[in-house]
Structure 1
Amino acid sequence: MKKSRKFTAIALAACMVAPMAMAAVPFTASAASIEITGIGTEQHDFEVYQILKGDLVDGKLCNLFLGSGVTAYNGMPLTAGSKVDDATVTAMAGTDARSIVSKITLGTPYKTVSSSSSDLTIDGLEDGYYVVKDVTNLDNKDDANSAWIVQVAGDAHVTVKNAKPTVDKQIQDEAADKDTNSTDAEGWGETADHAINEQFQFKLTAKIPANDQIKAYNAYKLVFNDSMSAGVTFDSIASVTVGGSPVTAYTETATGAADKAGLSWELTIDDVKPLVPSSITWGEQEIVVEVVYNAHLNENAIVSKSDVTDGDKDHVNNNKVYLEYSNNPDSTGTGTSQTGKTPEDYVWAFTYGVDNTKYKNEALAGNELQNAGFRLYDAAGTTEISLIFDTTKNAYRPIKSGEAAAEMKSAADGKFNIIGLDAGTYTLRETTTPSGYNTCADVQIVIAAAHNENASGTAANLALTGSQNMNNNIVNKEGSTLPSTGGIGTTIFYGLGGVLVLGSGVALVTKKRMKKDEE
């Protein structure tokens, strides 16, 4: 729920005029009252301080006396009930609630009230001038205190707007196979798929709303709290921007972490206000704070080999963020000041696996063939996908920096499974054929993935419809060879050779005799 809050500050005069704009708001009450709307669904607690009291006649507050809620002005003690002269009234005047409150010392609340809905009527008041303070403890809640409300009590209506920011996390994919719900040309969305050890980016976006309530903050703090699942490794911060302009005034706990896999880390901007570009006016335009960082899937990533429906954190590599933010305009925004907390926002990363088993002659149990060598190539069959055997996963995966690619070999059970592939088309080629067998034809593997986040934003879906050969039984046939020495074929060959030689000899002798007889 996106809301903002604003206060109404009524400048003081010898006779204060109640805002005529309030007459347009339908409101009736038997006594002086202040109606506040737009508070929000959370209960809020308010203290009401009477600063001045008097007679409200024809929309004017006259015959003024000090109220019970103020004990000093600019450090000088004041006595409740004493007559207020024009000079004091004029001196108390301010253009906004903060400047008025900064001049006075508050005493005992005239009234303490709590809201049970988004609307609240503070009734039972005397005609006068009041300060309303939101004293709700909203630490770690997705809500914000309203700033001081300064109001002439009569038939008064004040609308406050909740000034809380939002946060969103996205993951980038190749535009061609991005999240099916995404319309982003650069491939940003709630889900993506990547190969293990392939670098990609996450983006965290906080939006600070534009309203008068935001203007009341002297400082505005933001803390991005980011968490990655065990299968994701943080690499580096790519950029931090406020209002589209790069900034360096932040601290983060990720870069220096000893173990960057499955990392939970923070990026803190102590005060956003001085970082806002001059082209943007604080409180009058929405302010976007964006953090982009690099990461990759590691060997502990969850691998998908079939469809996933409403896959949660135990079935899909998930990453999340929540935002802490200043939510009390009357605090300093430093140290242990109260902060609000947004709900968590998730993104999801898929990676895929292909199962392969090598057989001799026929794909039957007992025919598994060991030590057949294979390599994986791109769709054209020209560029090798560099893989290495991971003993902890009993499968081949894409290499990381410092590792050398290896030829895949079928094990004693004929298996040489592959994990950590991106969506796409691949060529599986036999590169070492066991002796006595013919080399098998290339196998084309197609991983066609459609992925998106579910409607509630708490899980992800995956459909592998259209995929081909993600589970392969690869058969080598024994080769056709010449018979070995001593075989019947050789004997027949030799026998026929002998007959031919003998025949040649007989023919030669016969020819010689015929020649001799002719002589």
Structure 2
Amino acid sequence: MWFGYYKFRSKNQRKNGVPTVKKIIVDSNHHEDTNSYASIGDKVQFKTVITAQPGAQNYVLHDTMDDSFTYNKDVEISYKGSKLTLGDEYTINYDDSCTFDIVFNENFLNTLSKDDEIVVTYSAILNGNAHIETGNTNKTHLTYGSNKNTTEKDTVTTTYQINVLKYTKSTDNPLGGATFSLYNAANEGTAYQLVKKQNTENYRLALSEEALTTTKITTTSTGKFSIQGLKPGDYWLEETEAPKGYNKLAKRIKVTINEYGSFLIDGKGNADNYNLPYNQVDVENKSGSLLPQTGGAGTTLIYLIGGALVLGSGFVLANKKRAKAK
């Protein structure tokens, strides 16, 4: 209110300055961002920073994760470099509307000064419900004072997939009966454990606790399958068994997923434009030879050399027979 030339604030006006909330993800290299990438089974580390104001009252932090996250219940809260104690400075509640709520005790709030920071960290596992390519969100907001709310902040964690088409002669002729595995290295390495999604031709990375897993994918008559739940990086696709009458690929195919979810194949982009990434791995099988198929000119050269050797040996044998006859 105004009194003479001076304006006095009431007791209520002096209280409950407007706090702010910042939400980020911290990666394994300690980089902080609102966006991140993860594979199914990865731990995602979240961090929320509350910037408090004098007269803080009724601070409650609300956190809501997509069902694609499994919360680890590992909240830690620090203030001025010291860890707060659960039960003394704050409590954690669980209800149906949020993943969890953190209620700060009034005695602790009374110690806060202007722009003091409260740092909240916790983590979750990206699970088998992960949304592929569209992002997995974690939302946070703070209620304070008399039912006031800060602006909701969120983070997005994205995971991708590799789409594969097995075919013969042309992509219009899909090929069933080919078996593949996905590896973490060009040679040897470890095959990823996978879980097949029901009623689909899609597979996803398995969680460590899952029992019914496989490392092998066999194509159906559509020739198509996808492997989901992959973060950007390098992967190697190996054809472990070819359909009867067809040649198995001689080496693994390197697939590099970029941060936009498209990929390079053996370091190259689209055949029409090497700078344009692929959205599908097209794998051709050829029939009629027992030699491993590499898909390159080297295979043709082997055929020619082999044919020449056969003809040459036949010529030598015929000459020997003529000599004996004389």
Is 1:373 the counterpart of 2:203? The answer is no
Contact 1:220 1:270 in 2 (8 A): no
Matched, 1:270 2:105: yes
- Whole-angstrom CA distance in 2 between matches of 1:274 and 1:341: 17
Q: How far is 1:347 from its partner?
A: 1.2
Q: Verify the 8 A CA contact 1:446 1:469 in the aligned structure 2.
A: no
* CA distance, structure 2, for counterparts of residue 393 and residue 301 of structure 1: 16
Alignment of 1:12-411 (within 5 A): 33-36=4-7, 133=10, 145-147=12-14, 163-175=17-29, 186-209=30-53, 214=54, 217=55, 220-247=57-84, 248-249=86-87, 250-254=90-94, 264-271=99-106, 273=108, 282-283=112-113, 286-304=115-133, 315-326=134-145, 338-360=146-168, 362-365=169-172, 367-381=173-187, 382-391=189-198, 394-400=201-207, 401-403=209-211, 404-411=213-220
- Of structures 1 and 2, the one scoring higher in RCO (CA 8 A, sep 6+) is 2
In structure 2, the residue corresponding to 1:273 is in which secondary structure?
helix
Could you tell me whether the CA contact under 8 Å between 2:41 and 2:127 is conserved in 1? yes
Do the aligned partners of residues 479 and 463 (structure 1) sit closer, same or farther apart at CA in structure 2, a change above 3 Å counting? closer
For the aligned residue pairs, the C-alpha RMSD in angstroms reads 3.6
Cα 1:207–1:32 shift into 2, 3 Å: closer
Structure 2 residue identity aligned to 1:168: K
Question: Once the two structures are aligned, what percentage of the paired residues are identical?
Answer: 26
When structure 1 is superposed on structure 2, of 466-475 and 400-409 the one drifting more is: 466-475
Structure 1: which 5+ residue stretches go unaligned? 1-6, 8-30, 37-130, 135-144, 149-161, 176-185, 277-281, 305-314, 327-337, 451-461, 483-495, 511-519
> Residues 481 and 192 of structure 1: is their aligned pair in 2 closer, same or farther, counting only changes over 3 Å?
closer
Verify the 8 A CA contact 1:353 1:470 in the aligned structure 2: no
Distance 1:32 1:225, change over 3 A: closer
When Rg is computed on C-alpha atoms for both structures, the one with the higher figure is: 1
Aligned mates of 1:411, 1:351 — CA distance in 2: 25
Deviation at 1:34, TM superposition (A): 4.4
Change (3 A) 1:433 1:300: same
Is the contact made by 2:192 and 2:215 (CA closer than 8 Å) also made in structure 1?
Answer: no
- Verify the 8 A CA contact 2:139 2:153 in the aligned structure 1: yes
Structure 1 runs, 4 residues or longer, greater than 4 Å off:
462-469
- Deviation per CA, 1:34-84, whole angstroms, max 9, x where unpaired? 443xxxxxxxxxxxxxxxxxxxxxxxxxxxxxxxxxxxxxxxxxxxxxxxx
Amino acid across the alignment from 1:223: V
Q: Distance in 1 between matches of 2:109 and 2:132?
A: 45
The answer to whether the 8 Å contact 1:226/1:265 transfers is: yes
- Using the size of structure 1 for normalisation, the TM-score is 0.48
Name the SS for the 1:293 alignment partner.
strand
Alpha-carbon separation, structure 1, partners of 2:3 and 2:31:
58
2:255 counterpart (440, 445, 448): 445
Contact 1:424 1:448 in 2 (8 A): yes
C-alpha distance in 2 between matches for 1:352 and 1:188: 21
Alignment: residue pair count: 284
TM-score normalised over the length of structure 2: 0.74
Over 3 Å counting, the alpha-carbon distance change for 1:294 and 1:288 in structure 2 is same
Contact 2:62–2:98 (8 Å) recurs in 1:
no
2:51/2:117 contact within 8 Å kept = yes
Instruction: Tell me if structure 1 keeps the 8 A contact 2:256–2:263.
Output: no
